[in-house]
Structure 1
């Protein structure tokens, strides 16, 4: 499908959703079912209804926590560094000791991709330290840094080294 056809196709889809929603909303036996709840969520999050007119929400109204797929309610949307992604984020922790001939994966966590990397690490630092009690240094990407994480690292006696700075590039040369 060409991108120029998308608005028209979304309008058609909105009309189909409207018809189905109107029919289902009168059938109370469906209201507690997961399928109905997901369908209703997708309909309300992606379309605006005024009377009998149904229009897709504008791009500005779409948020990263909106339902991306009725059959996968945990999948999310994220725009990071100008790139769009849907689904999940995976974070992997591994040992990286140059004195050890073998390195080990010590943690894997899968989260909706709209959860900030620093929050994921904040929730995992204690678990990581528990699994690797000798941990005294951790290298992290800039996206994982935060004041809260700095405090946790200090409390746990872990020296953290950030490999990049978080945030936008400067717009002017200093």
Structure 2
């Protein structure tokens, strides 16, 4: 059952800070914790997360504490409104369950707004207003990051070692059984046989497995019309958005700067006015790393200048100026300045 956490707004006689040494309490009040509490914790809107919980049962663990812990990634009690030491206990599983609830909700309702992203925007506006940050001038950049793909298990490791070993043996020394190891068709055929079996087994887990298996076969093989068996595609024929891991379906492959990477690309927008006391990230977007780094921005014609055009090239941004700036010509032209081309067309 969902319940907002407003208990921290009400003071208590039993607050641990009331019994602290005055010097320690003064240090605590000068630390980052009260700032985080006032400008982050107190500005978290818990209500959008009510969709993650049912209308019955025990009240949920405070969402504003869970989100705050995700932000700072380690336990800092005072910053999340806990002023009585030991008042609230948190198991690691509670954090994992909260992440799972958010993930499953986003997967089930992709058309709904991103719960975490909305909190980022709300808190960013608070910081911008408090610090008087100008957002008139902003810059954009992108970076790629690796997918947290699950490491190979014993079976996958055994196959890699076997494959490496077999490749070092001269072909005339290989047995017929070992020759099969070097044929990708052998594994693809086994995948196809497993697919035929699993299609007749009704299970939610099997449905996910079947979807991944079907995608893998389609991306990696074609049907040989003569033998009616699977034939492995050439590497150049495998799409860049092909499956990179059975544990991360969205990760894609891209070569950038001569290096291959399986993962994603992160685009970030940031304020960059020289008058700002510090700069703030105002927007971000995570996408498949096969998407181009070039960003399309549409601007009024009045923004055009040689300097803007130079920055456009330097930062891989494609600018589209949507209309004229309305500026009057610096020099008027007479009708006699024009030449008429009388050549028939």
TM-score, length-scaled by structure 1? 0.60
Written as runs of structure 1 = structure 2, the 5 A alignment for 1:11-160 is 11-25=185-199, 27=200, 29=202, 33-50=207-224, 51=227, 53-118=229-294, 121-122=295-296, 125=297, 142=314, 144-146=316-318, 149-151=319-321
User: What is the alpha-carbon distance in structure 2 between the residues aligned to residue 94 and residue 3 of structure 1?
Assistant: 50
- Cross-structure match for 1:130: none
User: What is the alpha-carbon distance in structure 1 between the residues aligned to residue 289 and residue 257 of structure 2?
Assistant: 13
Give yes or no for the alignment of 1:8 onto 2:176.
no
User: What is the alpha-carbon distance in structure 1 between the residues aligned to residue 316 and residue 209 of structure 2?
Assistant: 36
Tell me, which stretches of 5 or more residues in structure 2 are unaligned? Answer: 1-159, 168-180, 299-307, 325-345
User: What is the alpha-carbon distance in structure 1 between the residues aligned to residue 239 and residue 315 of structure 2?
Assistant: 21
User: What is the alpha-carbon distance in structure 2 between the residues aligned to residue 140 and residue 105 of structure 1?
Assistant: 20
Distance 1:41 1:15, change over 3 A: same
User: What is the alpha-carbon distance in structure 1 between the residues aligned to residue 223 and residue 165 of structure 2?
Assistant: 23
Report how far residue 61 of structure 1 moved.
0.6
Distance 1:142 1:28, change over 3 A: farther
- Greater relative contact order (Cα 8 A, min sep 6): structure 1 or 2? 2
- For the aligned residues, what is the CA RMSD? 3.6
Q: Which has the higher helix share?
A: 2
Which deviates more from structure 2 when the two are superposed, residues 64-73 or residues 84-93?
Answer: 64-73
- Cross-structure match for 1:165: none
DSSP-derived class of the 2:193 partner: helix
Q: Which has the higher strand share?
A: 1
TM-score, length-scaled by structure 2? 0.33
Tell me, which stretches of 5 or more residues in structure 1 are unaligned? Answer: 127-136, 156-174
- Cross-structure match for 1:158: none
Answer with 1 or 2: which has the greater Rg.
2
Report how far residue 46 of structure 1 moved.
1.0
Report how far residue 33 of structure 1 moved.
2.4
User: What is the alpha-carbon distance in structure 2 between the residues aligned to residue 29 and residue 107 of structure 1?
Assistant: 43
DSSP-derived class of the 2:191 partner: helix
Asked if the contact 1:92–1:105 (Cα under 8 Å) also holds between the matched residues in 2, the reply is yes
User: What is the alpha-carbon distance in structure 2 between the residues aligned to residue 3 and residue 59 of structure 1?
Assistant: 22
Structure 1's consecutive aligned runs of 4 or more residues displaced over 6 angstroms after TM superposition are none
* Count of aligned pairs between the two proteins: 137
DSSP-derived class of the 1:37 partner: helix
Report how far residue 11 of structure 1 moved.
4.1
